[in-house]
Amino acid sequence: MFGKTKQLITENAVLKNELTPLLEIFTAMQSSLAIIEFTPEGIITTVNDNFSRVTGYSSSELIGQHHQLLCDKSEVESSRYKDFWKHLKNGEYFSGEVLRKHKNGHDIWLEANYFPIKNGEGRVVKIFKIANDVTERVEHSRSNDSLLSAIDRSMAIIEFDMGGRVTNANQNFLSLMGYKLDEVKGQHHRIFCDSDYVKSPEYAKFWEQLNEGRFIADNFKRINKYQSAVWLEATYNPIFDSNGKPYRVIKFATDITEKVRRSEEEKAAANTAYTISLETEKLSSTGEDIIFKTIDKLEELKQQFSHSSTELEQLGVETAQISFIVKTISDITEQTNLLALNAAIEAARAGDSGRGFAVVADEVRSLATRTSQSTAEIASMINKIQSKSDSVIKSMSGSMSGVESGVEFANTAGNTISQIRSGAKKVVEVVENLSNLH
């Protein structure tokens, strides 16, 4: 009897030694993990404090309730949920991330392990679950997944190893460049580039920078499968391993081919406008010079007309003086003719003694008559000269008015073309600045 007791004590000591590490492990699990136990039918029997803290329920609120209290209604009503408990009851282990409901109605994510516990007969007598709250990690991961999904839908993405060989590409990139994935996977980045660029020092430096871990962002000209130019606004982003060493490159790109095409057309239009504006400025400058030279000539002509008009007016005055003299001569001639007539009468009265005097009087009267005729002719000529002078003066006055109007119009035209030239110069400057912006 004593021997059997000693044996039991020894066996108990062995069992205690074996159980002690397990108890220590279980105690550690209790302090760090959320633990809950169920019947095979899903009724909660045990809950630790960590599980209560994670779900917001106290142990008294959970014990005796079915597992479905912690699940969304749609999940409970699904066939998947029924199969879940069917498999556990049959002794099948489950591990994974599960979505559960907090007491306040918020979603919580648990990284959970469900262990069916069997008795000595192999029948499942309870379900033991240990879990860890991974809500923050899952939501962060899902947020990242959503972000990456949005980027994948909206951008062209391609991945390279550090040697420049393609490892993956999304459909946007493949559609943009005209390739299928198996046509580019394993190919070098150079298949998307112009051959001259591939041979350039700039291309070698491009990959040197990426291998140094430096990201590159710019507008890039690339060549698609059909040898057409495609312009991309892109970033090449080195991805680093745990040691901080770049091990791959992800490129995010947006097609800006149409934008570049419009920009080039605008630049061409700006250059054309610049050329036209420059030519307009030159022509305006030439026209300005011609107009101001014309103004100088018109001013000179105006002065000449003014001088000639003054001389003609003086000539008219002098002609009038001549007319006055001629009139005076005419009056004297008439008086002489009258005196000669009287002398002839007196000579006739004197008879023979006045005959010689009569001859002289006749000669005087004859001279007076010729003088009167000549004076009349001179007066007629002077009248004609005065008439012509008056006509010329009037004509010149009209011409002077026309010249003055011409000068005024020419000045206005000169000022206008100066403004045009100034405007053309401003257009040249603006278009030149616009051309430089491109």
With beta carbons less than 8 A apart as the criterion, state whether 312 and 392 touch: yes
220 with 272, same domain? no
With beta carbons less than 8 A apart as the criterion, state whether 320 and 393 touch: no
280 with 420, same domain? yes
394 with 249, same domain? no
Final residue before a domain boundary, out of 224, 255, 286: 255
Inside any domain, residue 235:
yes
Which residue(s) pair with 161 in the sheet? 248
Which bin fits 56, alpha (ψ -120 to 50), beta or left (φ > 0)?
left
Give the pair of three-digit tokens for residue 382.
């002077």
Inside any domain, residue 320:
yes
277 with 181, same domain? no
200 with 130, same domain? no
- At residue 157, the pLDDT reads 97
Burial class (CB in 10 A: 0-12, 13-18, 19+), 250: middle
Among 255, 260, 257, which residue's Cα sits nearest to residue 175?
255
Among 110, 60, 72, 114, which residue's Cα sits nearest to residue 90?
114
Inside any domain, residue 401:
yes
d(CA 289, CA 418): 10
d(CA 143, CA 280): 61
CA angle 182, 186, 191 (to 5 degrees): 90
Inside any domain, residue 18:
no
Inside any domain, residue 97:
yes
d(CA 334, CA 211): 131
Give the pair of three-digit tokens for residue 343.
């002398």
d(CA 85, CA 83): 5
With beta carbons less than 8 A apart as the criterion, state whether 155 and 175 touch: no
With beta carbons less than 8 A apart as the criterion, state whether 290 and 434 touch: no
Give the pair of three-digit tokens for residue 58.
């106290």
Give the pair of three-digit tokens for residue 123.
């029948």
429 with 354, same domain? yes
Sheet containing strand 216-223, strands side by side = 166-169, 156-161, 246-255, 229-240, 216-223
- At residue 183, the pLDDT reads 97
With beta carbons less than 8 A apart as the criterion, state whether 115 and 87 touch: no
d(CA 5, CA 11): 10
- List, in order, residues 6 or more apart from 106 with CB less than 8 Å away: none
| SS3 letters across 289-322 | HHHHHHHHHHHHHHHHHHHHHHHHHHHHHHHHHH
Question: Position of tokens 């633990």?
Answer: 35
247 with 329, same domain? no
Domain CATH for 347: 1.10.287.950
203 with 314, same domain? no
Inside any domain, residue 2:
no
Domain membership of residue 337 as a residue range: 262-437
Final residue before a domain boundary, out of 255, 286, 305: 255
Inside any domain, residue 328:
yes
In total, how many domains does the chain have?
Answer: 3
210 with 244, same domain? yes
Backbone φ, ψ for residue 125 (5° rounding) = -110, -20
pLDDT truncated to tens, each residue of the chain (438 aa)? 555 666 767 766 666 666 556 556 656 667 779 999 999 999 999 999 999 999 999 999 999 999 999 999 999 999 999 999 999 999 999 999 999 999 999 999 999 999 999 999 999 999 999 999 999 999 998 888 888 888 889 999 999 999 999 999 999 999 999 999 999 999 999 999 999 999 999 999 999 999 999 999 999 999 999 999 999 999 999 999 999 999 999 999 999 999 999 988 888 776 776 676 677 667 667 766 766 676 676 677 667 666 666 765 675 666 666 666 657 766 666 676 676 667 667 666 666 655 665 665 566 566 657 666 766 666 676 677 667 666 666 666 666 566 566 667 666 766 766 676 676 666 666 666 655 655
Final residue before a domain boundary, out of 85, 109, 141: 141
With beta carbons less than 8 A apart as the criterion, state whether 151 and 254 touch: no
237 with 278, same domain? no
Among 387, 388, 396, which residue's Cα sits nearest to residue 307?
396
Question: Position of tokens 């000549």?
Answer: 374
Does the pTM of the predicted model rise above 0.95?
A: no
268 with 248, same domain? no
Inside any domain, residue 402:
yes
Domain CATH for 92: 3.30.450.20
d(CA 327, CA 330): 5
221 with 83, same domain? no
